[in-house]
Homo-oligomer: A and B are copies of this chain.
Amino acid sequence: MGVNIKPLSDRVLVEPMAAETKTASGLYIPETAKEKPQQGKVVAVGSGKKDHEMTVKVGDTVLYGKYSGTELKLEGTDYLMMREDDILAII
């Protein structure tokens, strides 16, 4: 988890989990949904904006929409950089 990156503003760096993976509470994303939510692990969090205090923390498992964020790759791992507002929920 030692990713050396500082997201700006209200951005969050997320390491996606496989969409088929079931969480402890059994939540998963339906295949047929038009805009399929995804889940991932929060890896880095920006310091927010004047009118937006950050809610998610490093280590949180989060749900987000399928086309949210910009893909990054770090030492072989794929990440997504997104705005916190693209995150639907902490699970």
How many residues does chain A have at the interface if contact means C-beta atoms less than 8 Å apart?
46
A65/B71 contact (C-beta < 8 A), A5-B91, A9-B85, A90-B6 known: no
In the complex, whether A56 has a CB less than 8 A from a CB of chain B is yes
The residue that A11 contacts in the complex, of B25, B53, B75, B89, with Cβ under 8 A, is B89
CB distance from A43 to the nearest CB of B (A): 11
Taking a contact as CB atoms under 8 Å apart, the answer to whether B28 and A90 are in contact is no
Residue of B nearest to A53 (CB): B50
- A positions within 8 Å CB-CB of B: 3-9, 11, 13, 24-30, 33, 35, 37, 44, 46-47, 50-53, 55-56, 62-63, 65, 70-75, 78, 81, 84-85, 87-91
